[in-house]
Chains A and B, each alone.
Chain A
Amino acid sequence: MDKKRDLLLQLNIVRKPNTNLVILRAVLSETYTRIDFGYVATDEYHRGGWIKMSPDSYLRTNSSEAIYKLTHAENIPLAPDHLHFESNKDWHYFSLFFEPIPKRSCKIDLIEVEHPEDTDFNYYGIIIDLNNAEEIIKP
């Protein structure tokens, strides 16, 4: 596997029990791992409520004890800042960048909070299958 290639995986994984957060894609690069998300506001909160991401979020794989820290976020504020929606019909696309995980097939967990509630953005067992990865054409 050429380490310099950026690999893209289409994931489309809906989180449960709250199905309004979707992991859409993962990009495995030499310098970062990017996870793309889509969030759809619901009727549960007034004017759609708000979202934020914990700056302590990280990834871990099932193949080692290593953790891969969040390095920056695009289109979503890091706590204590919040993004407040204007209506319960709003929608939002955002990306999180982590330290690069190894480029091999594995399962990863996204941990925002160690002991999460339903509203926290934790995901477990995300399958990274490099057989289904596409290579991104760099500019």
Chain B
Amino acid sequence: MPINKNAYRRYKVIDACLRNKMRRYPDMTDFLAAIEEKLDVNTTAETVQKDIAVMKKMPPDGFDAPIKFNRTKLGYEYTNPDFSIYGVSLNSYDVDSINEAIDVISSIGGSRVSEKFTHAIEKVLSNVQELNNKEEKRKIIETDYISEGRGFEHFDLLYSACRDRVPISFIHYSYSRREFKALIVHPVLLKEFNNHWYVIGFSEAHQALRTFGLDRVNAPEPIYKVFQNTSPHIIDEYLNDVYGVYPLRDGKRERVTLHVNPMITNYFRAQKIHPSQKVKMGSRGDAVITFEVIPSMEFVSLILSYGKQIRVVEPAHLAETVEKYK
């Protein structure tokens, strides 16, 4: 006979009581109080006795739960302390850890991952949430995001294409050249930078790895075609050498030197903006910061965002570009 939903919710509360290391050997009063608190219903000792009897039954009627009344402690216990009706034993510490992870994932997942993923996460967490749903959900983590950006509807398709190595034909519009082009790209990676998503892949038209903003990708169509593999080494090089997404000029890595005023030196000392960053402090609190990096439009934007507090020492072409946009 299938277990009805209300009974199953009570089993979960009884299970949680039996696994609560902070209040061991719960008695009937504890069960009744917990059910009332968690489920907001009144129940009787007789019902709980029946629930325990069902839980002790073999599957599929019950859970083969090793519940025993401890006469010394005058309370119930699992004779196997690792037992849980979920199959995987989770103690309160585990549940807290998962909930912390959920907060982080939910916070990011709100906009950056597909609805499908969010739904899957909810399914995974439905069991543990039962134990916490009495308390109103309070937001503790907030991340910076912009939801529903143009092109984000293609996220699932492009993700699958990267995973399954399927070439994609799509229409690309270049903001800078104001030009449409139908392209075939062999996608390898989805990248997020500054709340924008990009797909990186081998472009047949360019015969090289290229980055395309999802907001400029239209009507992607997966096609049957031999996938052009790009070695992980080349992908790593492509990703690691550039700050941001779109390289300037010929996309060559070079030394970049910035002079930074004391007011903002601490920001760079607190967090590297690129793995190659090195800070040499001056006696007055200013700093000379060097990078081995491919300068990009995003790098230019970063420099511009600090106004007069940063000066490009080298290379000259980067200094000129920054000046041009001031």
Give chain A's interface residues, CB within 8 Å of chain B.
8, 10-12, 22, 24-25, 27, 36, 38, 40, 89, 91, 93, 95, 134-137
Q: Does B3 contact A (CB under 8 A)?
A: no
Q: List 20 A-B contacts (CB under 8 A).
A: A10-B182, A11-B182, A12-B182, A22-B181, A24-B182, A25-B171, A27-B221, A36-B219, A38-B171, A40-B178, A91-B173, A93-B173, A93-B219, A95-B219, A134-B223, A134-B225, A135-B223, A136-B169, A136-B222, A137-B166
- A residues less than 8 Å from B222 (CB atoms): 136-137
Chain A residues, CB < 8 A from B223: 8, 134-137
Q: How many residues of B sit at the interface, in one of the four size bands?
A: 10 to 19
Those 5 A-B pairs whose CB atoms lie nearest each other, nearest first? A38-B180, A134-B223, A24-B182, A137-B222, A10-B182
List chain A residues, Cβ under 8 A from B183: 10
**Does the CB pair B224–A134 fall under 8 Å?**
yes
Contact B224 A135 (CB under 8 A): yes
Enumerate B136-178 residues with CB–CB distance to A below 8 Å: 166, 169, 171, 173, 178
Complex Cα distance, B169 from A89, in Å, reads: 25
Question: How far is it, in angstroms, between the C-alpha of A93 and the C-alpha of B217 when the chains are bound?
Answer: 10
- A12-B181 CB under 8 A given contacts A38-B171, A134-B224, A137-B223: yes
Min CB gap A49→B, angstroms: 15
Contact of B180 among A24, A27, A136 (CB under 8 A): A24
Q: Which residues in chain B, 213-250, are within 8 Å of chain A measured between CB atoms?
A: 218-219, 221-225
Tell me, rounded to whole Å, the shortest Cβ–Cβ distance linking A133 to chain B. 10
Q: Determine the distance from Cα of A40 to Cα of B181 in the docked complex, in whole angstroms.
A: 12
B183: nearest residue on chain A (CB-CB)?
A: A10
CA distance A40 to B179 in the complex (A): 7
Q: Which residues of B contact A38 (CB under 8 A)?
A: 171, 173, 180
Inter-chain CA distance A36–B219, complex, in Å, is 9
Nearest chain B CB to A56 CB, angstrom units: 25
For B181, the chain A residues whose CB sits under 8 A away are 12, 22, 24
- 17 further interface pairs, Cβ-Cβ under 8 Å (given A137-B166, A137-B221): A8-B169, A10-B182, A22-B180, A22-B181, A24-B180, A25-B171, A36-B171, A36-B182, A38-B173, A40-B178, A93-B171, A93-B173, A134-B169, A134-B225, A136-B169, A136-B221, A137-B222
Q: Which residues of A contact B65 (CB under 8 A)?
A: none
**Contact between A137 and B179, CB atoms less than 8 A apart:** no
**B184 sits at the interface (CB 8 A):** yes
Assess the A91–B166 pair: CB atoms within 8 A: no
Give the nearest-CB partner of A133 in chain B. Answer: B223
Residues of B within 8 A of A136 (CB): 169, 221-224
Chain B residue nearest to A89 (CB atoms) is B178
Identify which of residues 178-204 in chain B touch chain A, using a CB-to-CB cut-off of 8 Å: 178-184
Bound-state Cα–Cα, A111 to B166, Å: 35
Residues B26-70 near A (CB distance < 8 A): none
Name the residue in B180, B181, B222 with the highest tally of chain A Cβ atoms < 10 Å from its Cβ.
Answer: B180
Q: Determine the chain B residues whose CB is within 8 A of the CB of A12 once the complex forms.
A: 181-182
In angstroms, how far is the closest chain A Cβ from the Cβ of B170? 9
CB-CB < 8 A to B178: which residues of A?
Answer: 40, 89, 91
Give Cα distance in the complex from A38 to B222, angstroms: 20
Contacts of A135 in B (CB 8 A): 223-224
A74–B3 CA distance with the chains assembled, in angstroms: 50
Chain B residues with CB under 8 A of A36: 171, 182, 219
CB distance from A2 to the nearest CB of B (A): 12
CA distance A137 to B219 in the complex (A): 13
Residues A10 and B179 in contact, CB atoms below 8 Å apart? no
Bound-complex Cα distance A11 to B224 (A):
18
Question: Is A25 a contact of B218 with CB atoms below 8 Å?
Answer: no
Which residue on B lies nearest to A74, using beta carbons? B219
Report B300 CB to chain A, min CB distance, Å. Answer: 21
A10, B181: Cα distance in complex, Å: 9
With a cutoff of 8 Å between Cβ atoms, the chain A residues found around residue B179 in the complex are 40
In the complex, A25 Cα to B219 Cα: how many Å?
10
CB-based nearest A residue for B164: A137
| Residues of chain A within 8 A of B225, CB atoms compared | 134
Question: From B218, which residue of chain A is reached at the shortest CB distance?
Answer: A93
Residues from chain A with Cβ under 8 Å of B219 in the complex: 25, 36, 93, 95
Complex Cα distance, B175 from A89, in Å, reads 10
